[in-house]
Structure 1
Amino acid sequence: MTIHAAFVSGIHVIAQVIAIGLLVPLLIAVYRVTFHPLARSPGPRLAALSNVWLARRVRDGRMFEVGKKIHKRYGPVVRVGPNEVWFDSREAFSAIYSAGSGIEKSDFYLATKLNKPEVDWRMNLHWPDTLDFLSEFDTRRYRLQRRLIGPTYQTTNIKKFEHAIDGVITQAIQKLKSLDGAEVDLKEWMHIIAVECLGAVVLSWSPGYIRNGTDGGTSAQSYLGWKRKSVFGLFPLVTKLSFFSKGVARRFSNLWGVTFTTPKNFKPFFTPVYQKSSKRITAALRVDKPPAKNTRKDLLADLIQLHQDRPEFTETYLRRLAVTNFGAGHETMCSALTSIVAMIGSHPGTAQQIRDELPPISTESGVVSHDDALRLRYTQACIKEAQRLHPVIGMSLSRRAPAEGLSLHGYYMPPGTTIGCNPVSLHRNPEISGPSPDEFLPGRWLGDAEVARAMERCNLTWGGGARMCPGRHLAEMVLYKVVPALIREFDIEILAMPKDEDVKYYFMAMLTGVRARFVPVGGGKGNVAS
């Protein structure tokens, strides 16, 4: 073969490779739009081609805006990815999240895993048994873990830590009064209170946030982590590859603009949490000498006792859960408190209606007891309504369609399809929440009993079905006590509420950008004991 012939032959080969490279994506695109089992499902056309459509909106923090609008445009069934469908109906909620559905979590949760897997010769992933409630795929293992910790996290046990929360609330109110009505970032202050409550309840410890009047940027920094996880979760293959190569994760992060650096001199509260809990657990479990007498009456003491009474609640479980209380709780509590206080403060007359139903001071601390808080019907309605409008989860709580597939609203979801409800969308469906679903109307919880029951049933505030958040009772106790205390003591002026397009929602959702002033009621004469 002459040089010329070889050259021409090489050109032909290159041309064929380029043609194939262009043809394959084109054929995939045609298949996904025209012949895929989900091709009939309504939704943005670009979403059918690639997860890039949804990932771009996740990266930009636009899940609040998307959640509010997408079902209004396309109906109860929306295809948001080549293999992902969102729903916002009672029928879908019941089919996907009911306790007996047996529908498993989707591969999105690979991005939230706390540990790397082991890989066998078939490239199957095997996850260590370390207690990871959010991302646990093994239903049997998850149920065992929930049964073990269930009694410890029930309200009957959690209530004994009320005094610890009362102490935090008293300190927080005193500090807020000392600010003399200065403008603050509402989310930061709600994070301060949330972390301080967790520290007091779990470890009998304070991170010093109230004393310093700042959380040191920990809330903002951890929220960036959710931006990254939320994007990675939409690309399970990339997530799997990143388990074996940090370079894959780094390049993908850079490509999507979800790489972030830790500020200089940044001090995360997880370091002292880990150190303090580890030290106490090690001391309690020493076998070379009798354990030191435990004089602390906190949640970690209960967990240590649970391990001693029930060896199947392993030391690994114990150490992980001690930290998980903070990892799972600090952002969800912060998110809920922020939305509740922002909604109450931005709707004239709401705070006064809450004050009108507050009982007289009946405790030494001056903080409403948990039992009394449950009787505050209007206050409870305000809390539920704020969480309905601004849930702590901003994306679909996705699951994997079962082996037999799933049919909903006349559409068939093949086995393995990623399916789920986005809480922002679901909670605003007028067939569930009643008229004016986008408005803050606490009365909707106090009027039509059928509407109230529907909203209670179809609610993803704390997760769905068998995967309900195990720490919800602790979180609710904090909310029920903090909110009345702040409203009793302060006129909360909301100075700036972000526009929908400016609210940064990822999988973990926060009402960001709210500026507020805490002005003492009655010119500074408060009711909480000093």
Structure 2
Amino acid sequence: MFTWLSVVFWHGAWVALSSTVSATVWLASILVLSLLAVAIYRLALHPLARVPGPRLAAVSSCWYAYQVRNGRMLRLGKTLHRQYGPVVRVAPNEVWCASKDAYKVIYSPTAGYEKSEFYLATSLLKPSLSWDLALEVPDTLDLLAERDMKRYRLQRRLIGPVYHINNLRRHEHSVDLVLERAIAQLHTLQGAEVDLKEWMHIIVVECLSAVSLSWSPGYLKDKSDGASGKHAYMGWRRKSVFGLFPAMVILESLSKSAGRAFATLWQVTYHTPKKGFKPFFPAVQRKISQRVKVALWGKPQKDERQDIVADLIQLHKDRPEFNEQYLRRMAITNFGAGHETLTSTLISAFAMIGSHDGVQSHIANELQSVSKTIQYESAMQLSFTQASIKEAQRLYPVIGMSLPRKVPEGDGIELHRLHLPPGTIIGCSPVSLHRDTDIFGPDAEVYRPQRWLQADQRKDMDRYNLIYGGGSRICPGKQLAEMLVSKIVPTLFKHFQVEINLPSEEEMPYYFMAMLTGVKARFVARADVLRS
């Protein structure tokens, strides 16, 4: 009896196990065949099948995301078009372009190429889904992530006067005071080697704090940015990967644990340093909130501070459509959009000028005719210095990936004998476009500032330039950035000879927000150079 029951039991268990194994094998087979069918379709039958590019990129966005995660955007920008041509497929539904014809169409203010869903990952406030599954994006004056052009144009018109150079020059003296302190602190280093990225970040944050809030975060005093620059750059690594999977950005807004799991899967998690971390954003937010609260809701009192936040508060009072939320967001954006883009620009400028002795000597000679406190108007007359800055921005721009747009509804677009249907994600990588020999000449890979002094060539180079974005989406803070960079670079080269130690490009990770990292610098006082 016992034996018979055992046989029955084990036979039933075997049948159940066999059924389970069969079901598992069947489901696995279906999954493999489905993935194989998708791969075949994307490689051979998809509307972009004729577009050249890495075969794995045509199959899955994971190829692109892998390159991004590993910081390879500089290398891809330099090599991808050289290998595959002016139009390259980098994902199943995305292409990079590098030509005049592509730029003219993609970034035309009238062609209707709107920002892609990639920018959801850069949003100040994450998007959400309504009850009918429609995507809802908060109206927060988020100029980088804003995809509604009507809303964007309204916001640009409102803030335009505040960020016009005529208004910004009222705050120039604040920058001068910061640079005086920066020079004094750099002198105390006595030519010791420092991390260029950290010191450029220190100076940028101090300048933005002075111009925006009449305040100092104490970075110059401490000779440290409290690891805030490094921490923020790791944040861009994460955003750059998430942007390639917009559905995950939306899912993360619904479930933070899902976002954490996805970040862990792609190994883009990053943590706050345990020691010495000194972020400036919490203090900035507190000070802005306090200023706005007092100005709008407190007892009337005279505030002598003349800075950008004061200008924005006055704008709110004069133009009610510039609501309080816009006011608060724009005040934060001065720092959020500015501290990394300006740092990146300065690193490129100092790294390139400092590593080319002939260029630095030429700049030193040009600076002999200007006073130690260099005003913006005088700085803009330093033609070779300005050319040297633009040439550095050209080769090592702030944006390391494509500035993606969507082909609008209609017939699609024909580019270089390839048809790209509506809905295709399309854009130019500044790294690639800025090395196009048709625009910048046969030596486009070479750092040669003199090219910007040739009037016949400069017009074309300025036109096809993505340093501050393209077409109708030019950065509204461009003139603030140009004022700061145009003062900081010549002022420091006036006082110091800069010696640069550049790591290999493989050691400098590039993401959507990109900068040269690991660059070491020595700021040697000009007086010491002359004595030697």
Calculate the TM-score normalised by the size of structure 2. 0.95
Deviations 1:84-128, CA, capped at 9 Å, x for gaps: 100010111110012222211011111111113342222111112
Change in CA separation of 1:170 and 1:99 when aligned onto 2, cut-off 3 Å:
same
Superposed displacement of residue 3, structure 1: 8.1
Superposed displacement of residue 13, structure 1: 3.7
Give the distance between the partners of 1:166 and 1:360, measured in 2 at CA. 18
Superposed displacement of residue 237, structure 1: 1.5
- Alignment-derived partner of residue 502 in structure 1: 507
Deviations 1:454-477, CA, capped at 9 Å, x for gaps: 110111101111111111100110
Give 1:179-258 correspondences, 5 Å limit: 179-258=189-268
Change in CA separation of 1:27 and 1:345 when aligned onto 2, cut-off 3 Å:
same
User: 2:350, 2:489 within 8 Å by CA — same for their partners in 1?
Assistant: yes
Alignment of 1:326 onto 2:332: no
- Alignment-derived partner of residue 471 in structure 2: 465
Give the distance between the partners of 1:68 and 1:183, measured in 2 at CA. 30
Identity of aligned residues (%): 54
Give 1:264-343 correspondences, 5 Å limit: 264-265=274-275, 266-286=277-297, 290-343=299-352
Give the distance between the partners of 2:158 and 2:530, measured in 1 at CA. 46
Give 1:3-402 correspondences, 5 Å limit: 11-265=21-275, 266-286=277-297, 290-358=299-367, 360-362=369-371, 366-402=372-408
Bigger shift: residues 297-306 or 125-134: 125-134
3-state SS in 2 of match to 1:151: coil
Q: Which amino acid aligns with 1:513?
A: G
Rg comparison, structure with higher value: 2
Change in CA separation of 1:7 and 1:374 when aligned onto 2, cut-off 3 Å:
closer
3-state SS in 1 of match to 2:400: coil
Give the distance between the partners of 1:5 and 1:368, measured in 2 at CA. 87
Give the distance between the partners of 2:530 and 2:485, measured in 1 at CA. 24
Alignment of 1:428 onto 2:428: no
Superposed displacement of residue 263, structure 1: 1.2
Give the distance between the partners of 1:3 and 1:52, measured in 2 at CA. 41
Give the distance between the partners of 1:319 and 1:7, measured in 2 at CA. 63
3-state SS in 1 of match to 2:373: coil
Give the distance between the partners of 1:241 and 1:330, measured in 2 at CA. 29
3-state SS in 2 of match to 1:147: helix
Superposed displacement of residue 78, structure 1: 0.4
- Alignment-derived partner of residue 3 in structure 2: none
Q: Which amino acid aligns with 1:302?
A: D
User: 1:284, 1:291 within 8 Å by CA — same for their partners in 2?
Assistant: yes
Deviations 1:13-52, CA, capped at 9 Å, x for gaps: 4333222111100000000000000000010001101111
Superposed displacement of residue 361, structure 1: 4.4
Q: Which amino acid aligns with 1:388?
A: R
Give the distance between the partners of 1:312 and 1:217, measured in 2 at CA. 38
Superposed displacement of residue 257, structure 1: 0.7
Change in CA separation of 1:523 and 1:46 when aligned onto 2, cut-off 3 Å:
same
Give the distance between the partners of 1:512 and 1:193, measured in 2 at CA. 16
Give the distance between the partners of 1:463 and 1:96, measured in 2 at CA. 12
Q: Which amino acid aligns with 2:451?
A: R
Give the distance between the partners of 1:134 and 1:95, measured in 2 at CA. 20
3-state SS in 2 of match to 1:522: helix
- Alignment-derived partner of residue 462 in structure 2: 456
User: 2:120, 2:126 within 8 Å by CA — same for their partners in 1?
Assistant: no
User: 1:177, 1:524 within 8 Å by CA — same for their partners in 2?
Assistant: no
Change in CA separation of 1:313 and 1:4 when aligned onto 2, cut-off 3 Å:
same
Superposed displacement of residue 521, structure 1: 0.6
Superposed displacement of residue 525, structure 1: 8.9
Q: Which amino acid aligns with 1:259?
A: T
- Structure 1 vs Structure 2 CA RMSD: 1.7
- From 402, 406, 409, the counterpart of 1:403: 409
Change in CA separation of 1:371 and 1:241 when aligned onto 2, cut-off 3 Å:
same
Give the distance between the partners of 2:243 and 2:265, measured in 1 at CA. 15
Q: Which amino acid aligns with 1:245?
A: S
Deviations 1:220-256, CA, capped at 9 Å, x for gaps: 0000000000011111122221111111111111111
3-state SS in 2 of match to 1:519: strand
3-state SS in 2 of match to 1:420: strand
Q: Which amino acid aligns with 1:474?
A: L
Superposed displacement of residue 358, structure 1: 2.4
Deviations 1:389-422, CA, capped at 9 Å, x for gaps: 0000000000111112222111111111110000
User: 2:115, 2:405 within 8 Å by CA — same for their partners in 1?
Assistant: yes
Bigger shift: residues 516-525 or 195-204: 516-525
Unaligned 5+ residue runs, structure 1? none
4+ runs deviating over 4 angstroms: 2-12
Deviations 1:308-327, CA, capped at 9 Å, x for gaps: 00000000000111111000
Give the distance between the partners of 2:210 and 2:530, measured in 1 at CA. 27
- From 463, 477, 480, the counterpart of 2:483: 477
- From 434, 437, 441, the counterpart of 2:444: 437
3-state SS in 2 of match to 1:173: helix
Give the distance between the partners of 1:415 and 1:204, measured in 2 at CA. 48
Q: Which amino acid aligns with 1:294?
A: D
Give the distance between the partners of 2:181 and 2:27, measured in 1 at CA. 69
User: 1:340, 1:387 within 8 Å by CA — same for their partners in 2?
Assistant: yes
Give the distance between the partners of 1:205 and 1:427, measured in 2 at CA. 37
Give the distance between the partners of 1:176 and 1:5, measured in 2 at CA. 79
Change in CA separation of 1:300 and 1:525 when aligned onto 2, cut-off 3 Å:
farther
Superposed displacement of residue 269, structure 1: 0.2
Superposed displacement of residue 510, structure 1: 0.6
